[in-house]
Chain A
């Protein structure tokens, strides 16, 4: 499934370029010749579309030692914290979240904006 907007894909291509560069750097350092698996951690509110990442991966990894590697995307659910009642709750999309207990508007996001390379398997 191709992503909807060109600008969305361009954003993910830049991120995937960073990811592949980091992966190949590690492969070089450890004398590995082929990357088998790459795991990315992507927060559900990171603004990055996993589908666009996969699309970008196919383009960027081509003809590199990462070509053909399995790409695993771990999505991290968004969790916010209410400063009034100290409740941690699952956050919906957006930037401001309503506490399910006291309905106060909160913007303290504990997790959900991650965008990182978390594991590589290579040989």
Chain B
């Protein structure tokens, strides 16, 4: 037995009719069979229609979202942010000391530095009026986007073109945490050995730049520069490699030229 349609919409087909409950639930469309009974084309009368949606929504975790926010902030202020990562003792702070002294004369820089404890690095880096903020993580072995955001909040960024983020010394965990930087710089010192890129692929794979530091003592150590560069290139073919010594100044000009090219680049 066919049902009287309560819907004020015309049926879509000759044998179809619609039933619309007046309590706000969606209408259902029914088709009459030859024997006079009907079956639902949409869903059972007492169940709303099943909807299937297809898409490709990338899933970001909390750090990725906060990193994206940092990235947008740096871009809006015309600041080039670099994330410096390495093992403890590779020379990140010494590199920054010299960079602030030399490049800092012509280009205003700021620094956010992370350690578990102490503000030793921040003390060393307060020079040439560069704003510096120290983050002490307590127990966290890597910086996260949220920490960097808090550190940046504490700085006077007026006229700053370059922000250096000195990460916690660690060749493993920081690789997984986007801080919102536009350049990731991995330092490898001659005292660590040629095989480190092979042993720590995630870190090197994420590098835009690899700095081979303490190059002035390579000979004394019997360090195989060719092997080190070969290893870096096999794991990180995408990275630019610079060999330098922050102590003697060797190779620093190339590093400054790179930094200038990053700030001089026209916004895309």
Contacts and interface: CB of A to CB of B under 8 A. Distances in A.
Interface of A: 11, 14-15, 17-19, 22, 26, 30-33, 36, 40-41, 47, 94-96, 105, 107, 115-123
Nearest to B233: A105
Contacts of B60: 15, 18
A109 B158 CA distance: 41
Main SS of the interface on chain A? mixed
Given A96-B234, A107-B237, A107-B238, A30 B61 contact: no
Contact of A118 (B56, B61, B62): B56
Main secondary structure of the interface of B (DSSP, over half): mixed
B51 A116 contact: no
B202 interface: yes
Most buried by A among B49, B61, B202, B237: B61
B47 interface: yes
A10 to B, nearest CB: 9
Given A17-B61, A32-B48, 4 more contacts: A22-B59, A107-B205, A119-B52, A119-B55
Interface in B177-235: 201-202, 205, 234-235
Interface string B21-61: 00000000000000000000001000111111111111111
Most central of A17, A96, A117, A119 by chain B CB within 10 Å: A96
A31 B24 CA distance: 11
Given A94-B201, A96-B235, A123-B43, A115 B52 contact: no
Given A95-B235, A123-B47, A11 B61 contact: yes
A119 B176 CA distance: 27
A115 B59 contact: yes
B63 interface: yes
Contact of B48 (A26, A118, A119, A123): A123
Interface string B74-100: 000000000000000000000000000
Interface residues of B, number: 27
B59 A95 contact: no
Contacts of B205: 95-96, 107
A36 B52 CA distance: 10
Contacts of B49: 123
Nearest to B54: A119
6 contacts: A14-B62, A15-B61, A32-B48, A95-B235, A96-B234, A123-B50
Contacts of A22: 57, 59
A115 B61 CA distance: 10
Nearest to A122: B51
Contacts of A94: 201
Q: Give the 5 A-B CB pairs with smallest separation, nearest first.
A: A14-B61, A117-B57, A95-B205, A95-B201, A123-B50
A33 B48 contact: yes
A15 B59 contact: yes
A118 B57 CA distance: 7
Given A105-B234, A122-B51, A116 B176 contact: no
A120 B55 CA distance: 9
Contacts of B48: 31-33, 123
Contacts of B50: 36, 121-123
